[in-house]
């Protein structure tokens, strides 16, 4: 892949993509995984002809200085793009906080960019040994776990998010949360799964208040959204 950052879209004002700050979000093209509930399927393939010019995006961001605190690199999977570190440096030099949404698909790139970020939202999909059931990609769980351990070792500011897809078994999720806690993850959010019409598909775990109370004790910060 070349060095141009391939961008599929931009949201200039978001209150939900970076905790406690107003952010602009840059959606990068490309993801090698195929999650069943992916809301950005149109970004999975790389489509050079549909990329928005990076220079234009920098101009847009310049015009948002003073209104927006952070810029979040999202996707797709931002880690598959070789141009990511340089793009982060450019945006950071403009004075923005840097956020990253990732599922950890490329640990070597994560090792490079994580120390450049101010906050990372890290998607965990399933019990690491059964990742393929969600992503459709063999060994994706091993890769994700490697990336997650890296974030803990680097001591960067990050949150784990788990989308509560309806077929995820509650006992599997509880074991996964225990594993995350034992690895050293401090912040976890369980996210309600929404279908293509943005209607929430309620997972049974959300009606078990006693279990949720118990789970919350594993972490310094525990959110449901
Ligand atoms: S890792 Fe993210 S962008 Fe890639 S298919 Fe899964 S949900 Fe979609």
Return the closest-CA partner of residue 144 out of 176, 174, 170, 122. Answer: 122
Is the CB of 75 inside a 6 Å radius of any atom of ligand 1?
Answer: yes
Q: Is the model's pLDDT at 179 over the cut of 60?
A: yes
Is the CB of 79 inside a 6 Å radius of any atom of ligand 1?
Answer: no
Across the chain, mean pLDDT equals 93
Beta strands in 75-182 (DSSP E): 97-102, 119-124, 158-164
What per-residue confidence (pLDDT) applies to 46?
A: 76
Is the CB of 27 inside a 6 Å radius of any atom of ligand 1?
Answer: no
Find the 21 Cα to ligand 1 centroid distance in Å. 24
Beta strands in 75-146 (DSSP E): 97-102, 119-124
Q: Are 19 and 119 in contact (CB under 8 A)?
A: yes
Could you tell me the pTM of the whole model?
0.95
Smallest CA separation from ligand 1 atom 8, residue: 38
Is the CB of 103 inside a 6 Å radius of any atom of ligand 1?
Answer: yes
Mean pLDDT of 6-14: 94
d(C-alpha 179, C-alpha 200), whole Å: 27
**Which atom of ligand 1 is least distant from the CA of 34?**
5
Q: Which residues pair with 68 in a beta bridge?
A: 65
Length of the chain equals 225
Strands 158-164 and 200-201: unpaired
Q: Give the model confidence (pLDDT) of 72-123 as tens digits.
A: 999 999 999 999 999 999 999 999 999 999 999 999 999 999 999 999 999 9
* Tokens coding 111: 């090792």
| CB neighbour list of residue 24: distance below 8 Å, 6 or more residues apart | 10, 11, 12, 13, 14, 60, 61, 64, 68, 70, 71, 72, 96
Q: Give the model confidence (pLDDT) of 193-218 as tens digits.
A: 888 788 888 899 999 999 999 999 99
Fold of 7-159: TIM Barrel (3.20.20)
| CB neighbour list of residue 7: distance below 8 Å, 6 or more residues apart | 26, 27, 28, 29, 51, 52, 54, 57
Query: Where in the chain are the domains?
Result: 7-159
Q: What are phi and psi of 28, to 5 degrees?
A: -90, 150
Cα 69 to the center of its chain, rounded Å: 19
Is the CB of 57 inside a 6 Å radius of any atom of ligand 1?
Answer: no
What per-residue confidence (pLDDT) applies to 1?
A: 43
d(C-alpha 206, C-alpha 190), whole Å: 9
């Amino acid at each position: 892949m070349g060095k141009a950052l391939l961008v599929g879209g931009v949201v200039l004002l978001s209150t939900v993509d970076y905790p406690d700050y107003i952010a602009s979000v840059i959606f990068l093209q490309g993801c090698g995984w195929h999650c069943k509930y992916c809301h950005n399927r149109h970004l999975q393939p790389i489509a050079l002809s549909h990329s928005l010019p990076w220079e234009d995006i920098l101009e847009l961001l310049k015009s948002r200085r003073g209104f927006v605190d952070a810029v979040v690199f999202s996707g797709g999977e931002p880690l598959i793009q070789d141009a990511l570190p340089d793009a982060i440096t450019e945006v950071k030099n403009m004075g923005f906080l840097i956020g990253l949404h990732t599922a950890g698909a490329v640990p070597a790139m994560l090792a490079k960019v994580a120390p450049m970020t101010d906050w990372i939202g890290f998607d965990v999909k399933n019990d690491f040994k059964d990742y393929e059931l969600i992503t459709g990609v063999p060994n994706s769980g091993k890769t994700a776990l490697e990336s997650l351990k890296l974030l803990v070792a680097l001591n960067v500011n990050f949150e784990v998010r788990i989308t509560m897809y309806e077929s995820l078994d509650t006992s599997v999720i509880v074991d996964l949360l225990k594993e995350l806690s034992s690895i050293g993850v401090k912040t976890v959010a369980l996210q309600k799964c929404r279908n293509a019409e943005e209607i929430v598909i309620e997972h049974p775990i959300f009606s078990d208040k006693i279990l949720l109370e118990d789970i919350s004790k594993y972490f310094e910060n525990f959110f449901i959204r």
